[in-house]
A and B are shown apart, each in its own frame.
Chain A
Amino acid sequence: MGLFGRDISCTRGGRAVFTGVSFDVAAGEALAITGANGAGKSSLLRILAGLLPLVGGRIDYEESAPELTLAEQAHYLGHRDPFKPALSARENLAFWQQYLGSPAMNIEQALMSVGLGAIGHLPAGFLSAGQKRRLSIARLIAVERPIWLLDEPATALDAAGQSAFIAIMQSHLDSGGLIAAATHVPLGIATRELRLGARA
């Protein structure tokens, strides 16, 4: 059970970034994707999220609901935090919950779980980078999706934010979800490792 990738290759701008990448992640497990800058960690995540075309190889998700694509069952946490500065934190989160569907908890709970409960009414433009990151994490728990694709998730988070995030990730794994995260630093949870760029 789980997410399988076989023989995936990636070309960006005519240059082959990686070829022949394979991995297994079972439900309840986390995969840490490591490698030097430029090895293709972000690209692999974007391929999994359906944001880059899959040219070679295949990806299977065994528990996939038949009518949904992989992207519709995954969360993608990229480098940017997609929140409109003119709307409040609460309005931004409520929008994504309505748009992506599958609400898992109400907005107030999600905001409080990431420590933003007191400032949910403020315009997102006033939030710092760390607070916006926490708001993105709130999106992960406000909308129910089994697969989490995370790209350097802990950047901009302070120590308190990081330990809260570790607890959130663990709780996601405990309820049967799976995580694939590109990261330079240890995630803080038990992971398999996929090292990109290991072959010359």
Chain B
Amino acid sequence: MSALIALIQRDLRISWRLGGGGLLGVLFFLSVVVLMPFALGPDVPLLKRIGPAVLWLGAMLASLLTLDRLFTADQDDGSLDLLLMSPVPLELSCLAKGAAHWLATGLPLIVATPLLGVLLNLEPGTSMSVALTLLAGTPALTFTGMIGAALAVTMRRGGLLLAVLVLPLSIPVLIFGVAASNAAITEQGRFGAPFSILCALTLAGFIIGPLAAAASLRQGLD
């Protein structure tokens, strides 16, 4: 247990010291959100309607890009070899690394969401509900993304391959995240149903993500 905490602490410390933690992810999130009105035109009613979707897409892409280094950094310097030789099961180590990634990257995105909501002319209530769905859904993004990250590491191809592998897995999270946010605004739809499914996806991700990632890492060894 203390081994897992040590692993989380190490990853958080590295993330903090190299360029201020998840701030680069937040900057990317901000850039993506700013791009939308340029592409769509400054049509305020339109932006209000698609605001939750834009925020979710931005958070998803920012999360995806930071997943690239999740395992490659450890493989490059040989730490991955040693991670496999510990009494701690690899599955739990993957769980710990995912937790560290979410704390360093996902959490800042959630904190930035209300500010970005202002840029999209969203009501405060809307921004907060998007932030809440992101809180429930970004762990799912991290843990499903971890599977792609592990596969990309063992195949020694990063970047686009990772995106191609991970995006299909993240679609359910995106669907229910946006559905829950929209349901919270319109008050016609029910918030509870999509939100519960979102939480279920996250919980399932906690289990499936580390298991699949550990299996990929092991079978990809050479």
Contact = CB atoms under 8 A, between A and B. Distances in A.
A/B contact in complex, CB under 8 angstroms: yes
Interface of A: 12, 49-53, 68, 71-72, 74, 76, 78-84, 86-87, 91, 94-96, 98-101
Nearest to A70: B85
Interface in B5-60: 6-7, 9-10, 13-14, 17-18
A49 to B, nearest CB: 6
| Top 3 closest pairs, chain A to chain B, by CB | A80-B78, A98-B6, A82-B79
A110 to B, nearest CB: 16
Given A51-B84, A78-B78, A84-B77, A95 B6 contact: yes
Given A49-B81, A100-B85, 14 more contacts: A52-B222, A53-B221, A72-B86, A72-B87, A76-B82, A81-B77, A81-B78, A82-B78, A83-B77, A84-B79, A95-B6, A98-B6, A99-B6, A101-B86
A72 B7 CA distance: 17
B10 A95 contact: yes
Interface of B: 2-3, 6-7, 9-10, 13-14, 17-18, 74, 77-79, 81-88, 221-222
7 contacts: A51-B84, A80-B77, A81-B78, A82-B77, A82-B78, A87-B13, A100-B86
Contacts of A96: 82
Nearest to B5: A98
Contacts of A82: 74, 77-79, 81-82
Nearest to A94: B6
Nearest to A136: B78
A86 B87 contact: no
Given A81-B77, A95-B6, A86 B85 contact: no
Contacts of B18: 86
A79 B6 contact: no
A76 B82 CA distance: 7
A10 to B, nearest CB: 11
A26 B10 CA distance: 37
Contacts of A86: 13-14, 17-18
